Amino acid sequence: MLKIAVLGAGRIGQVHAANVAHHNDAQLVMVADPFIDNANALTALYGGTAVNNPLDAINHQDIDAVVICTPTDTHVELMLAAARAGKAVLCEKPVDLDIRKAIAAEKALGEHASRVMLGFNRRFDAGHSETYQRIRNGEIGDLHQVIITSRDPGLAPMNYLKHSGGIFRDMVIHDFDLARWILGEEPVEVFATGSRLFEPSLEALGDYDTVMVQLRTASGKQCQINCSRQAVYGYDQRLEVFGSNGMMLNDNQRETSVRRYGPQETEVRGPLLNFFMQRYTEAYRHEMDVFISAIRNGSTVPVTIHDGCQALKLADAAQLSADTHTVVTVD
Ligand SMILES: NC(=O)c1ccc[n+]([C@@H]2O[C@H](COP(=O)([O-])OP(=O)(O)OC[C@H]3O[C@@H](n4cnc5c(N)ncnc54)[C@H](O)[C@@H]3O)[C@@H](O)[C@H]2O)c1
């Protein structure tokens, strides 16, 4: 049994705690949160001990691994403390909002980086990973273009947005990782446009509510990412890949596959799964399973802090591009 502590018992901490607790090869031993009511709520559901200091969990002899689900600006500090204590880590995205701090953390981890996994859950979505595999199997020939549509159902609270680091570093970071993974090459050019089409108050934060990004790799492969903070019809998550021998599309998921036909309308379908916790339920479960297996088997985790740093570089480039209306080169 891998003995795990979840650090941070908020939205994503709740998802990961449940998945640890229901895993056959892991045990939820501790939940740490300075807001102890949050930690208590999770231990009441899934067992384990609630503590208010994450370092108490990290340094506890009974803990083999920690899942970092705390606010972004605490990730690096907790990850490095866990590494010093010899503990494996699954850390939520992004690594940090400051690329220099993220790269310094990668350096500081050294060989321990093989036991520190980044929480880019979309790689573990069944449809996305099938698409990835079928591209590699040659089903659409040479990959030419990737189109990612990624829209949230509604704007996050202003309090969250103030500390989020902006739409590129907080939200599109998932799509930057997805793009790198699907393309199989690092993008070297970024062009982004950003608009405030429905939330003018984001101007004070230097943030946007609606963005489009274009990426180009050294060999010329292209990717377009369409992203909005507000889609009135729900959480819109689509992946289209186009190549020399065809196209593949991983479409949205719905609560029901039934379609209704009537006198006034046809093909009436139910709503999209509304947000990340519903749309990616299975992906989070699979992500945890892969993490636990890698640590138990002593193999390198499949998504590393290096992936986190590369995605953050693209986010920084997109922010600069949108702010300055220029094409930005990434190394
Ligand atoms: N992969 C995903 O799909 C996904 C989804 C949501 C959030 N996230 C990421 O997860 C992180 C947390 O986001 P959230 O939405 O769950 O936030 P949240 O505000 O809902 O929860 C954060 C929790 O951490 C606690 N906390 C604060 N400081 C702490 C510390 N030093 N030690 C332990 N606990 C601490 C807070 O009291 C709170 O309970 C962010 O970095 C976010 O970007 C990832």
pLDDT for position 274: 86
Tell me whether residue 296 is in a domain: no
Would you place residue 151 in the very low, low, confident or very high pLDDT band (cuts 50, 70, 90)?
very high
Residues 89 and 166 in one domain: no
Q: Say if residues 96 and 102 touch (Cβ distance below 8 Å).
A: yes
276 lines ligand 1 (CB under 6 A): yes
| Protein residue with its CA nearest to atom 4 in ligand 1 | 12
Checking if the pLDDT of 94 tops 90, the result is yes
Residues 173 and 268 in one domain: yes
Task: Decide: 119 in ligand 1 pocket, CB within 6 A.
Answer: yes
> Would you place residue 331 in the very low, low, confident or very high pLDDT band (cuts 50, 70, 90)?
confident
- pLDDT single digits (tens) 45-85: 999 999 999 999 999 999 999 999 999 999 999 999 999 99
Q: 96-140, pLDDT tens digit by residue? A: 999 999 999 999 999 999 999 999 999 999 999 999 999 999 999
78 and 133 in a common domain:
no
CA of 13 to the centre of ligand 1 (A): 7
> Which residue among 88, 119, 150 closes a domain?
119
| Separation of CA 331 from chain center | 22
Q: What is the pLDDT of residues 252-308, one digit of tens each?
A: 999 899 999 999 999 999 999 989 999 999 999 999 999 999 999 999 999 999 999
What span, in angstroms and rounded, lies between the C-alpha atoms of 78 and 163? 18
Distance 75 CA to ligand 1 centre (A): 10
Best mutation site among 11, 63, 67, 167 for ligand 1 pocket (most ligand atoms within 8 Å of CB): 11
pLDDT value for 179? 98
- From start to end of 137-209, where are the E strands? 143-151, 187-195
Domain assignment of residue 50, given as a range: 2-119
Same domain, 320 and 234: yes
The DSSP annotation for 232-282 comes to: TT--EEEEEEEETTEEEEE---BS---EE--SS-SSEEPPBP-SHHHHTHH
Residue nearest to atom 5 of ligand 1 (CA): 12
Give pLDDT tens digits for 223-246.
999 999 999 999 999 999 999 999
Partners of residue 210 on adjacent β-strands: 195, 228
Q: 8 CB under 6 A from ligand 1? A: yes
Cβ–ligand 1 contact at 33 (below 6 Å)? yes
What's the CA-to-centroid distance between 90 and ligand 1, angstroms?
A: 13
| 146 has pLDDT over 90 | yes
- HSE-CB of 233 using CA atoms within 13 angstroms: 10
Nearest CA to ligand 1 atom 7: 12
Does some domain include residue 295? no
What is the total count of domains within the chain?
Answer: 2
Res. 35: pLDDT tops 90: yes
Residue 143 belongs to a domain: yes
Q: Ligand 1 pocket, 135 CB below 6 A?
A: no
Nearest C-alpha to atom 25 of ligand 1 is from which residue? 8
Query: Does 161 fall in a domain?
Result: yes
> Which residue carries 């995605």 as its tokens?
311
